[in-house]
Amino acid sequence: MRRVVVLASVLVVAACGSEGGTAQLRPTPTSVAGGTITRLPTSTTASAGRTCHRRSLRIEPGDKPAPVCVREGDELPFRSSASPHQPWLPLTSSAPAVVRCSANPAPDGGIAGTCTAVAAGHATLSTSTSPFAGDPGGPPQFGWQVRVTVTG
């Protein structure tokens, strides 16, 4: 009876730890004296088709977006909010060989463009608003960044 309770507890914990229910657990039955114990894998692999998908990014001051996962060759469009007094600087990639970005400034101080997933790996996309030109003690600059994982 205790084995059943322990096994049920392990299954519940493993299910809660999976990403959005996309992970697949493949139990392995093992014979032991007095019955069979089902061993669970020590790690789970999420399905790339469900966790890595195309999307678009919205850049907002103070926003801390969750990491993004896309497939090699995917395009990731982005657009920022308007910032007429402190225009957004172009979006840059920490690893242009993994994710390459091109941005266009908008008349309202925003930016818009597209990032392309070039190769498998990781990159951090980042931008910030320009310093306030009217007063050095004026409004603070805003920074924004997101980590992108590209799968092959």
Residue-wise pLDDT tens digits, 134-151? 777 878 899 999 999 999
Neighbouring residues of 149: CB distance < 8 A, sequence distance ≥ 6: 52, 67, 68, 69, 70, 121, 122
At 92, list the tokens: 């840059």
Q: What does the radius of gyration of the chain's CA atoms come to, in whole angstroms?
A: 23
Provide the pLDDT for residue 137.
80
Rounded mean pLDDT, 60-81: 94
Provide the pLDDT for residue 34.
45
**Domain annotation for the chain: domains and CATH numbers:** 2-39 (no CATH), 52-151 (2.60.40.2020)
* Structure confidence at residue 51 as a pLDDT band (50, 70, 90): low
The answer to whether 53 touches 33, Cβ cutoff 8 Å, is no
Provide the pLDDT for residue 140.
86
Dihedral sign computed on CA atoms, order 75, 80, 84, 89: negative
pTM score, two decimals?
Answer: 0.65
Q: Is the pLDDT confidence value at 72 over 70?
A: yes
Strand order of the β-sheet with 143-151 is 68-71, 143-151, 121-128, 92-93
What is the share, in percent, of the chain residues with pLDDT greater than 70?
A: 66
Mean pLDDT of the chain: 75
Residues 77-90 pLDDT 10s: 999 999 999 999 99
Q: Is the pLDDT confidence value at 19 over 50?
A: no
The answer to whether 105 touches 138, Cβ cutoff 8 Å, is no
